[in-house]
Amino acid sequence: MHSEFWHERWETGRIGFHQQQVNPFLNTYWSQLQSCGKGRVLVPLCGKSLDMLWLREQGHEVTGVELNELACQAFWDEQSITANTQQEGEFTAREKDGLRILCGDFFALPDAKFEAFDWVYDRAALIAFPQQMRKRYARVMTDKLPSGVGMLLITLEFEGLEGPPFSVPESEVRALYGERFEIEKLAAEEGVGRDERAEVETVYILRDREDRE
């Protein structure tokens, strides 16, 4: 998907992917990933997600990365938070009390930024990309994240290729991430998605393999 697609979605308010509440899977399963106290969490393609607030309330330092400026500013405006703003290379960074959002192209994020994270929460990133871009995105994650990192990943599965969001079956998750991560499937919940289509929302925990050099 080209950046213009997402800018147009935000400018016209076509943001059905935005959830008005904290994702219930995050509340249920995060504790199975986070077992070593507080840490630093990356939320790729974060939009204005309330999940970032929930993670911050658990005591984590949270960094979201979002392409669209309207989405970045809307998060702070809707929470009535005045963030500190500065330019960091190609990104506009807004930060307040351990919560920051970097506005810019995720694929332009410098390698050094990835070294800061202990965990990743991905509800909306992998499923936002068509197949070839999913491969590119997963390579970034597997190549640049530091040793010991863990990930809570939520995907969708449904018939057909139309998206976004796109259907990402378990076999593809394992193909993309299995070389680096041990993958545990935690839940698969049937539901009704766009245009009344049947879909399955699936939750995985990805743990870095201990023998990774």
The predicted structure's pLDDT at residue 38: 79
pLDDT of res. 41 = 96
Give percent of the chain above pLDDT 70: 86
Show the CA angle centred on residue 101, arms to residues 60 and 205, nearest 5°: 50
DSSP of the chain, one letter per residue? --HHHHHHHHHHT--TT--SS--HHHHHHHHHH--SS--EEEEET-TT-THHHHHHHTT-EEEEEES-HHHHHHHHHHTT---EEEEETTEEEEEETTEEEEES-GGG--HHHHTT-SEEEESSSGGGS-HHHHHHHHHHHHHHSPTT-EEEEEEEE-SSS--SSPP--HHHHHHHHTTTEEEEEEEEEEEE-GGG-EEEEEEEEEEE-TT--
pLDDT digits (tens, 9 = 90+) for 60-117: 999 999 999 888 888 999 899 999 999 999 999 999 999 999 999 999 999 999 998 9
Q: Which residues contact 187 (CB under 8 A, 6 or more apart)?
A: 25, 28, 29, 202, 203
Bridging pattern class, strands 99-103 and 91-96: antiparallel
Average pLDDT of the chain?
88
Predicted local distance difference test score (pLDDT) of residue 213 = 45
The values of phi and psi at residue 201, to 5°, are -95, 125
pTM of structure: 0.90
Tokens standing for residue 168: 């990402």
What length is written for the chain? 213
pLDDT for residue 33: 78
pLDDT tens digits along 135-166: 999 999 999 999 999 999 999 999 876 778 89
CB of 125 within 8 A of CB of 173?
no
pLDDT classification of 53: cutoffs 50, 70, 90:
very high
